[in-house]
Structure 1
Amino acid sequence: MHKMHADNERIIFKLLKLLSDNRQHSYMQLGSELSCTTITLLKYIQRLTELGVTISEVKGLGIIWSHPFSLLNKESLFSYLREFQHEFSVYTFDILESTSKYLALNKSSYLEENRIPVIACELQTKGRGTSNRQWYSNLGGSLTFSLMWRFTRRIEHIQTLSLVLGICLVRVLRKITQTEIYLKWPNDIIFAKKKFAGILTECRSVDNNILVSIIGIGINFKLPPNPAIMSDYGVTDLFEITGQYLDRNQILAYLLVELREILIAYEQFGFIYFRKEWENYHYFQGQPVTLKSVDALTTSGVVSGISVDGSLVLKTDSGNKAFGMGEISIKTND
C-alpha cells in the first residue's frame, strides 16, 4: 500500500474510533485530535461515508456518528474468551487486503508461537472465497478473520477440513441467533437458502510431521442496501436474520473457542466422527437437486448423504453417484 494512502487510512480509522463514543464532536476538536485542517477533515468524513458509515451533522455543533457499530476490540474479545484467552495470539488490523494472505506471507514468524495465531481486520479489501471468487466485506458489516492450525499427525482426506469447519459455524451461529441456520455443500453457511458466511482453507506441509492449515472465515453482519456481490443464489446477513446488531467481538470469541475444540477432535478422529452431524445440518439432505459440473454437464438426483472423503452422494436413476468438492454447483429443483 502506498505510504500516503496508508497514512490517510490510518487517520480515517483514528477518526472512526473518536466518533465511536456516540457523542457530538466539533470540527475544531476533531481537527486538533487528528492534526489536520477542517478541509482535510471533511475529506476524511467523506471517505467514511463512502465506506458506509453514516455521519450526521449537528447544526452549529459539529458531527455525530449516531449508530456506531462495535469495533474489533481485544479487551472485549478476551472477556468473551475467558479461560481460553491464553490459547490464542490475536492480531487486529484496521485494513488488510486479505487476512489469510497476510498470515501466509508471515507464516514463518507465526509458526514459532505456542499459541494459535489469529488475524482479524475491520476492512478486508481483496478477500477470496471458493473458486477464487471475491469475498465481499464492508466496514463494520463483516467479520473477516484467519487462523493458523498445525496438524501434528497425518490427516486422511484433509479435503474434509472445510466441511468440519462449517459445522463449527453452524453450531455457534445457531446458538447465538436461535434460528435454523444450515450448510450448503460443501461449506457455505445459509439461512432461508441465502448465503451469509463462507470458509476458505489452504493446507501446506512444513515438514514430514507438520501440516499447516490457514483457515479464512467471512461472515456478513450488515450488508449495505445494494451490495455488489456475485452469487448463484441470494445473500443475506445476520442483521436481516435477527433484526439486531450483533457484537462481532462476542461471535469471534465463541467461534475461536469452538474452532479449537472441533480441530482437536478432527485431528484425533477424522471426518467420520462428524459425518452424521454434517448431514443433519445440510439443508439439501434428502432433497431432489441438480448438480452442474465445471464442464456444464448436469446430474439430477436425491441427496443421500456425504462420503468419508467429503464427496456428495446422489441417488440417481442409474444408482448412487459421488461428486468431489470443487467440481459442481448445487441447485434445488424448484
Structure 2
Amino acid sequence: MKDHSAKLSILKTLSQGGFHSGEELGDQLGVSRAAVSKHIKGIQEWGVDIFRVQGKGYQLAKPMQLLDQEVLNQALTTPVELIPIIDSTNQYLLERTDSLESGSVCLAEYQAKGRGRRGREWVSPFGSNLYLSMFWRLDAGMAAAMGLSLVVGVAIVEALEEIGLEGVKLKWPNDLYYQDKKLAGILVEMSGQAGAAANLVIGMGMNLMMSDKTEGITQPWSSLSEVAESQNIDRNQLAITMIKTLNKSLADYELQGMSGFVERWNRLDNFLGRPIKLIMGPREISGISKGINEQGAVLLETEQGIESYIGGEISLRPSSSES
C-alpha cells in the first residue's frame, strides 16, 4: 500500500487553520520545500482546495475537520477501522468477510475507486464527505436481505434527526434526498451460500461540504451543510451516531423484518403522493407514489389500481408532468 503519511501530516497541520509556510511544513517532515510543493499537488489531486500566498505559505480554502480514530474508538464498542486513503471501503470489507465481527466498520477520508449502484463511479473527494461501510452477518440468509437498503436509509435519516438535522428524505430504493437533490447513496453488496448466513457489506457515501467545483457528477446534488445551514457538522460525531443507529436498526430488522420499517420509511418518502415514473429497462410506468409495502416493494397507483414493483434495475424519477 502506498505511503501517504507525508500528505496526511501536511493536511493535519493545514486543518488547524491559518497559513503554514513551505519551510515550516518541510521542517515538520524533514523534507525540502520542493518536496512539500510536490505533496501539496498530490493533495490537490484528492479534491482538496489549497491556495498559496507569496510570503505567507499554504492555506485550506475552507475549514476541514479530519476523522479521528481515537475519538471513534472511545465512543463505540463496535470495531472501527479508519483508513484515510482507500480504493473502496466496501471492497475492503468484502475481501475480509471471513475474519470480521458483525457490525465492523471501515471509514475513509478519500476513495480512489468509490462506486455506486450498477458499477457507477462515486465521486469521493478528500475530507469533504463521509464514506462509511459496515459488515453485517445476516443469519436468516440472503433471501432475508431483500429491502435492506430501505432499512439503512431509514436508519441514516433517523441518525441525522437525532443530531437536529431535519428535512432529509428517502428515494426508493437507496438514496437520501434534500430538496429534491441527491444527498447520499447506499450500496448493499452480499455474498454467501444458499441456506447459510449472508455476508452483507453496507456502504454509504454522504455529501457533507462538497465543493461546487467538484466534477464528474451528472445529477443535481446537495450537501449536508445546506441542511445544517449555520450549524457546524462534527464529522466524528456524525459517524458515531450513524454507526450506533445502523447497528440498532439492523438488529431490529433481524427481529421484525420489513414490517417494522414500512411506516418509518413512508414518513420519510420524498415522493409520497407525487407523480413519478418507474424506469425498468425499456419500460416506463407512470403513476402516483404510495410508499412501500412489507416486501420493500414500491407502490404505484396507476389506472389499474395500486401495483407493487421490486427489482434491482428499477429507477425512480419524478414525473415530467410534475412542476
**Same fold, judged at TM 0.5 (above):** yes
The farther-off stretch of 177-186 and 141-150 is 177-186
**Helix, strand or coil at the partner of 1:108:** coil
Percent identity between matched residues is: 32
Distance 1:108 1:155 in 2: 16
Q: Which amino acid aligns with 2:96?
A: N
Distance 1:64 1:298 in 2: 50
Distance 2:61 2:121 in 1: 31
Aligned partner of 2:30 in structure 1 is 35
Distance 2:108 2:199 in 1: 22
Distance 1:289 1:207 in 2: 36
Distance 2:143 2:287 in 1: 28
**Helix, strand or coil at the partner of 2:315:** strand
Question: Among 6, 10, 17, which residue is 1:15 paired with?
Answer: 10
Q: Which runs of 5+ in 1 are unaligned?
A: none
Q: TM-score, normalised by structure 2?
A: 0.90
Say if 1:186 and 1:325, in contact at 8 Å, map to a contact too: no
The farther-off stretch of 9-18 and 309-318 is 9-18
Residues 150-169 of structure 1: matches in 2 within 5 Å? 150-154=137-141, 157-169=144-156
Distance change >3 Å, CA 316–CA 118, structure 1 → 2: same
Question: Among 210, 215, 219, which residue is 2:206 paired with?
Answer: 219
Aligned partner of 1:184 in structure 2 is 171
| Per-residue deviation, 1:18 | 2.6
| Per-residue deviation, 1:239 | 1.5
Runs of 4+ in 1 over 6 A off after TM superposition: none
Say if 1:195 and 1:236, in contact at 8 Å, map to a contact too: yes
Residues 41-190 of structure 1: matches in 2 within 5 Å? 41-57=36-52, 59-65=54-60, 67-79=62-74, 81=75, 85-86=76-77, 88-110=78-100, 113=101, 116-154=103-141, 157-190=144-177
**Helix, strand or coil at the partner of 2:183:** strand
Distance change >3 Å, CA 206–CA 140, structure 1 → 2: same
Q: Which amino acid aligns with 1:101?
A: Q
**1:209-249 superposed Cα distances (whole Å, 9 cap, x missing partner):** 52221111110011122323444x41111122323551211
Distance change >3 Å, CA 315–CA 56, structure 1 → 2: closer
Q: Does 1:315 align with 2:301?
A: yes
Distance 2:192 2:45 in 1: 41
Say if 1:292 and 1:329, in contact at 8 Å, map to a contact too: yes
| Per-residue deviation, 1:193 | 0.6
| Per-residue deviation, 1:146 | 0.7
**Helix, strand or coil at the partner of 1:127:** coil
How many positions carry a matched residue from both structures? 319
RMSD (Å) for aligned C-alpha atoms:
2.2
The farther-off stretch of 170-179 and 212-221 is 170-179
Distance 1:72 1:49 in 2: 19
Q: Does 1:328 align with 2:275?
A: no
Q: Which amino acid aligns with 2:58?
A: I
Aligned partner of 2:256 in structure 1 is 269
